[in-house]
């Protein structure tokens, strides 16, 4: 065996170890979700869908899941509108404070969630917005906007402004130019940003705790049920759902923006 | 009435700290440096003519075109289209269309949808639309390409689509911003001939921006030479070439053969700045006789460039200055020409070919 071959073998082992540490815990969650004996025995003796059935029947889990979906959809909708409009303004117009706007939009992603949560909770109490689903949506939107903003901005910077000029030159008013030229150019970037925003909102815990009031989202339900012996097997099913609803949107978003670079929190 | 009239047209850009263009109000507030891209231009473009705006990059020709199209608002002055002041109208209300340097085709639309775009947004009925798109594609010889995407076309074909997309709207003025810049030489020469033919066929006023003096000379009915945001000369190609108004025009349209001050006094017999075109000068032996209607100067051949049909000589005059002389290779070969390097010569040309020019701001 040559030195190079030894090096390559070591590299393979190291890579395997890293991947194992990253993914074995996830695999465990999935296996337990389908194990007949739940978390009480290892290795599983037989596979079963009984936890899945119990999970569907559990009203607490089901409500938490639906709340999470509603929150994620709401936050995504706000992010989609505000993020896209902000990207259009920054990419296509020169105005006083443009760089500041850009920075202010990206900043919440760097801000510790605990600070965001605290600040939002205080603010909502001050302005009299009751804690609950609406408060969570607004809270999530603050850091979801940047995902749409970054994606749409990256796409707009790659799309020649002369296309919009050509449209205007050919007689299209601003609305027609937006509908026929700009929107088709950024549509997939908007979708990618929206999917990422959805995934980010869906598994958010820290900010949610501060503004949820009594409302439970799926991650909070998991967090609270995890220590209850009679719920622990359902938690694995909930975990599986959370994994799927994060991984699938991110995967699709990556494919949609494959040629544009920047998808994440850059 | 002129198709396009520019009155005191001026555009001042301001740049922020990192060199991006910013609005004037911001510049005023932040004290950003400003750049006068177009400086009080007055110009009449006649109806139906092929008019070129010629100048080096940064001379203001493209900014002027963009103000006619409506993409830039003038800082001062007015743009009149067929007598109507359109200075503050948005592009979609102006009866002009533009062929862009990068073509600006819509990548998500087929060729026929690209060409039909102007008709669709102006709500032209479908049957008429289909007919006019077909005609426009025929005119640029792209019949049968209607289902293709822009990405499936060559550079020359994209250029034709851009032309068809603009012409299908039957504008009264067509603006072309260095439309052939991205094409290779052979294709460019073909397109020059074709563009000129199309212009004569449709009878629309063409305003053509280029930095290529040969292109401007071959295609235009008239041209304007831009320098530093101003127009130095407007005229027919032969007029601008044969009788350049300024030293800049003499240099940019053709070769800069300038005789200034002391050299001019010694050679021409008067002070000032004179120019003489390289092909008007004859190379002769130093002892050759000079006619009474001729100007002559002694010098030495500094370098020889063999160009195939012609040879270009750079001659250092004994009086100072350098003159470029081109001679057709009627009998000489490249070997004969190259052997002349370093030889003492007499340059002779007709007195009538001395043109007094004004010194440019440059």
Domain definitions of chain B by residue range: 47-65+89-245, 251-356
**Closest residue, chain B, to A185 (C-alpha):** B108
pLDDT (tens digit per residue) in B45-102: 999 999 999 999 989 999 999 999 999 999 999 999 999 999 999 999 999 999 999 9
Surface-to-core class of residue B265, CB atoms within 10 Å of its CB (0-12 exposed, 13-18 middle, 19+ buried): middle
Q: Do A170 and B26 touch (CB under 8 A)?
A: no
Cα A217 from Cα A70, distance rounded (Å): 10
Band of residue B30 on the pLDDT scale cut at 50, 70, 90: low
Query: Does B121 sit within 8 Å of A165, measured CB to CB?
Result: no
What is the total count of domains within chain A?
A: 1
Dihedrals φ, ψ of A195, to 5°?
-65, -40
The count of residues in chain A is 266
Closest of A192, A61, A82 to residue A137, by C-alpha: A82
**Residue A209 belongs to domain with CATH number:** 1.10.3720.10
Q: What does the pLDDT read at residue B309?
A: 85
Q: In this predicted structure, what is the pLDDT of residue A261?
A: 44
pTM of the model: 0.79
Average pLDDT rounded to a whole number, residues B215-240: 94
Predicted pLDDT at A39: 67
The answer on pLDDT for B204 being more than 90 is yes
**What is the reported pLDDT for A253?**
85
DSSP B178-229: STTTTS-HHHHHHHHHHHHHHHHHH--EEEEEES-HHHHHHH-SEEEEEETT
Distance CA A43, CA A47 (A): 11
Task: Note the pLDDT of residue B92.
Answer: 93
For B323-348, b where at least 16 C-beta lie within 10 A, e where not — what string? bbbbbebeeeeeeebeeeeeeebbbb
* Average pLDDT estimate for B283-303: 89
State how far the Cα of B297 lies from the Cα of A61, in Å rounded to an integer.
101
Q: From residue A71, give the alpha-carbon distance in Å to each of A65, A263, B239.
A: 10, 22, 74
Nearest chain A residue (CA) to B18 = A99
Topology of the domain comprising B251-356: OB fold (Dihydrolipoamide Acetyltransferase, E2P) (2.40.50)
pLDDT band at residue B26 using 50, 70 and 90 as cut-offs: low
State residue B360's pLDDT score: 60
Q: Answer yes or no: is pLDDT of B18 > 70.
A: no
SS3 percent helix, strand, coil of chain A, rounded to 5, is 80, 0, 20
Task: Categorize the per-residue pLDDT at A35 as very low, low, confident or very high, splitting at 50, 70 and 90.
Answer: confident
- Of A95, A160, A185, nearest to B102 by CB-CB distance is A160
Task: Tell whether A94 lies on the interface with B, counting CB pairs under 8 A.
Answer: yes
Task: Look at residue A97 in the predicted model and tell me its pLDDT.
Answer: 80
Q: Which chain A residues are within 8 Å of B117, Cβ to Cβ?
A: 167, 170, 172, 180
Could you tell me if A89 lies within 8 Å of chain B, comparing CB atoms?
no
Q: Across the interface, do A165 and B102 touch by the CB < 8 Å criterion?
A: no
Angstrom distance (rounded) from CA A124 to CA B220: 69
Contacts of B91 in chain A (CB under 8 A): 165, 168-169
Classify each residue of B116-149 as buried b or exposed e, where b means 16 or more C-beta atoms within 10 Å of its C-beta.
Answer: bbbbbbeebeeeebeebbeebbebbebeebbebe
Average pLDDT, stretch A38-44? 70
- Name which of B205, B11, B224 is nearest B95 in CA terms: B205
Question: Does A168 contact B at CB distance below 8 Å?
Answer: yes
What gap in Å lies between CA B9 and CA B78, rounded to an integer?
Answer: 6
Q: What percent of chain B has pLDDT over 90?
A: 57
Instruction: Name the residue among B67, B3, B69 with its Cα closest to residue B39.
Output: B67
Binned at pLDDT 50, 70 and 90, residue A2 comes out as low
Question: Is there a cis peptide before residue A43, judged by omega within 30 degrees of 0?
Answer: yes
A chain contacts of residue B23, beta-carbon cutoff 8 Å: 94-96
**Residue A36 or B168, more confident:** B168
Return the bridge partners of B175, or none.
B98, B207
pLDDT of residue B362: 44
Helix, strand, coil shares, percent, chain B, to 5 = 30, 30, 35
pLDDT of A108-121, one tens digit each? Answer: 888 888 998 999 99
- Give the model's confidence band at A128: pLDDT under 50 very low, under 70 low, under 90 confident, else very high: confident
Q: A231 lies in which domain range?
A: 58-256
CB contact under 8 A, B104 and A163: yes
What residues in A contact B106, CB-CB < 8 Å?
163, 166-167, 180-181
Q: B-chain residues within 8 Å CB-CB of A165?
A: 69, 71, 91, 98, 100, 104
A185 in B contact zone (CB under 8 Å): yes
Indicate the pairing of strand B50-54 with strand B205-210: parallel
Residue B78 in 3-state DSSP?
A: strand
Residue of B nearest to A94 (CA): B22
- CA B339 from chain center: how many Å? 37
Residues in contact with A121: Cβ distance below 8 Å, sequence separation at least 6, in sequence order = A131, A210, A211
pLDDT at B319: 87
**Whole-angstrom Cα Rg for chain B:** 24
Contacts of B25 in chain A (CB under 8 A): 96
Compute the mean pLDDT over every residue in chain A, rounded to the nearest whole number: 86
Smallest Cα distance from A160 to chain B, Å: 7
Instruction: Tell me the chain B residues in contact with residue A181 when contact means C-beta distances shorter than 8 Å.
Output: 106
Q: Which residue has the higher pLDDT, A72 or B328?
A: A72
Chain A partners within 8 Å of B34 (Cβ): none
Please enumerate in sequence order all residues whose Cβ is within 8 A of that of A102, keeping only pairs 6 or more positions apart, or say none.
Answer: A90
Task: Give which of A91, A164, A169, A175 to mutate to test B binding, by max B Cβ within 10 Å.
Answer: A169
Note the pLDDT of residue B27: 60
Determine contact: A160 vs chain B, CB below 8 A: yes
The confidence band for A4, taking pLDDT boundaries of 50, 70 and 90, is confident
Residue B267 and residue B261: Cα distance in Å, rounded? 10
pLDDT of A265 > 60? The answer is: no
- C-alpha distance from B115 to closest chain A C-alpha (Å): 10
In 3D, which of A261, A252, A264, A78 has the Cα closest to residue A154? A261
Average pLDDT, chain B: 89
Largest CA distance in chain B: 78
Set of chain A residues whose Cβ sits within 8 Å of the Cβ of B166? 169-170
At the second CATH level, the architecture of B47-65+89-245 is 3-Layer(aba) Sandwich (3.40)
ipTM score assigned to the predicted complex: 0.82
pLDDT at A169: 94
* Distance between CA atoms of residues A73 and A245, nearest Å: 12
Cα–Cα distances in angstroms (integers) from residue B200 to residues A70, B50, B82, B98, B204, in the given order? 64, 9, 20, 18, 8
Tens of pLDDT, residues B135-175: 999 999 998 898 999 999 998 899 999 999 999 999 999 99
> Shortest Cα distance from B124 to chain A (angstroms)?
12
Q: What is the pLDDT of residue A52?
A: 81
A175 contacts chain B (CB < 8 A) = no
How close does chain B come to A187, measured CA to CA in Å? 12
CB contact under 8 A, A165 and B122: no
Residues from B contacting A (CB-CB < 8 Å) are: 20-23, 25-26, 29, 69-71, 90-92, 96-98, 100-102, 104-108, 117-118, 121-122, 165-166, 169
Q: Which residue of B has its CA nearest to A98?
A: B22
Q: Say what the pLDDT of residue B89 is.
A: 93
- pLDDT band for position A224 (50/70/90)? confident
Q: Which among A176, A174, A189 is positioned nearest to A93, based on CA atoms?
A: A174
A235 lies in some domain: yes
pLDDT at A266: 33
Q: Would the pLDDT of A208 be above 60?
A: yes
pLDDT of residue B231 exceeding 90, the answer is yes
Look at A174 and B340; give whichever has higher pLDDT. Answer: A174
Q: How many CB pairs under 8 A join A and B?
A: 76
Interchain CB contact of A171 with B (< 8 Å) = yes
What's residue B79's pLDDT? 95
Within 8 A by CB and 6+ apart from B80, the residues are B2, B4, B5, B6, B7, B86
Strands of B355-356's sheet, edge to edge? B258-260, B273-275, B355-356
What local confidence, expressed as pLDDT, does residue B84 receive?
A: 94
């Amino acid at each position: 065996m040559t030195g190079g071959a030894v090096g390559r073998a070591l590299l393979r082992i190291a890579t395997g170890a890293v991947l194992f540490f990253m993914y074995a815990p996830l695999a465990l969650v999935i296996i337990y979700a389908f194990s007949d004996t739940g978390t009480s025995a290892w290795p599983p003796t037989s596979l079963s869908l009984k936890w899945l059935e119990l999970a569907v029947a559990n009203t607490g889990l089901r409500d938490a899941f639906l709340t999470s979906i509603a929150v994620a959809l709401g936050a995504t909708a706000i992010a989609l509108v505000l993020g896209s409009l902000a990207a259009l303004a920054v990419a296509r117009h020169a105005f006083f404070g443009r760089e500041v706007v850009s920075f202010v939009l990206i900043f919440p992603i760097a801000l510790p969630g605990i600070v965001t949560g605290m600040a939002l909770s205080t603010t909502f109490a001050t302005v009299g917005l009751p804690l609950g689903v609406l408060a969570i949506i607004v809270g999530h939107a603050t850091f979801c906007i940047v995902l749409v903003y970054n994606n749409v901005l990256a796409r707009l910077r790659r799309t020649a402004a002369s296309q919009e000029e050509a449209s205007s030159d050919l007689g299209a008013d601003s609305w027609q130019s937006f509908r026929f030229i700009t929107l088709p150019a950024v549509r997939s970037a908007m979708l990618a940003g929206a999917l990422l925003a959805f995934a980010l909102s869906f598994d958010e815990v820290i900010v949610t705790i501060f503004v949820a009031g009594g409302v439970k989202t799926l991650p909070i339900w998991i967090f609270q049920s995890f220590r209850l012996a009679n719920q622990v097997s359902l938690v694995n099913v909930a975990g599986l759902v959370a994994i799927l609803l994060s991984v699938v949107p991110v995967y699709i978003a990556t494919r949609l923006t494959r040629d544009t670079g920047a998808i994440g929190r850059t | 009435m002129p198709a396009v009239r520019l009155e005191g047209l001026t555009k001042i850009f301001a740049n922020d700290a990192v060199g991006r263009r910013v609005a004037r109000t911001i510049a005023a507030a932040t004290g950003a440096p400003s750049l006068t891209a177009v400086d009080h231009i007055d110009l009449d473009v006649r109806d139906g003519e092929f008019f070129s705006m010629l100048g080096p990059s940064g001379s203001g020709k493209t900014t002027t075109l963009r103000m006619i199209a409506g993409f830039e608002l003038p800082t001062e002055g007015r743009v009149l289209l067929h007598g109507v002041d359109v200075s503050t109208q948005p592009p979609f209300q102006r009866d002009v269309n533009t062929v862009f340097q990068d073509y600006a085709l819509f990548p998500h639309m087929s060729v026929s949808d690209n060409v039909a775009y102007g008709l669709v947004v102006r709500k032209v009925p479908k049957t008429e639309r289909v007919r006019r798109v077909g005609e426009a594609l025929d005119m640029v010889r792209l019949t049968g390409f209607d289902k293709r995407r822009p990405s499936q076309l060559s550079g020359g074909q994209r250029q034709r689509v851009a032309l068809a997309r603009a012409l299908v709207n039957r504008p009264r003025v067509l603006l072309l911003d260095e439309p052939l810049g991205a094409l290779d030489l052979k294709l460019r020469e073909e397109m020059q001939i074709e563009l000129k033919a199309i212009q004569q066929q449709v009878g629309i006023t063409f305003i053509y921006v280029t930095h290529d003096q040969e292109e401007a000379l071959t295609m235009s009915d008239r041209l304007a030479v831009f320098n530093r945001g101003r127009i130095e000369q407007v005229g027919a190609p032969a007029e601008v070439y044969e009788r350049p108004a300024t030293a800049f025009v003499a240099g940019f349209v053709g070769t800069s053969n300038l005789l200034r001050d002391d050299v001019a006094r010694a050679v021409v017999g008067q002070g000032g700045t004179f120019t003489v075109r390289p092909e008007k000068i004859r190379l002769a032996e130093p002892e050759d006789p000079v006619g009474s209607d001729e100007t002559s100067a002694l010098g030495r051949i500094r370098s020889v460039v063999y160009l195939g049909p012609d040879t270009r000589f750079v001659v250092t005059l004994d009086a100072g200055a350098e003159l470029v002389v081109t001679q057709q290779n009627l009998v000489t070969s490249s070997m004969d020409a190259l052997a002349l390097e370093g030889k003492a010569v007499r340059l002779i040309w007709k007195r009538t070919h001395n043109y007094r020019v004004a010194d440019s701001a440059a």
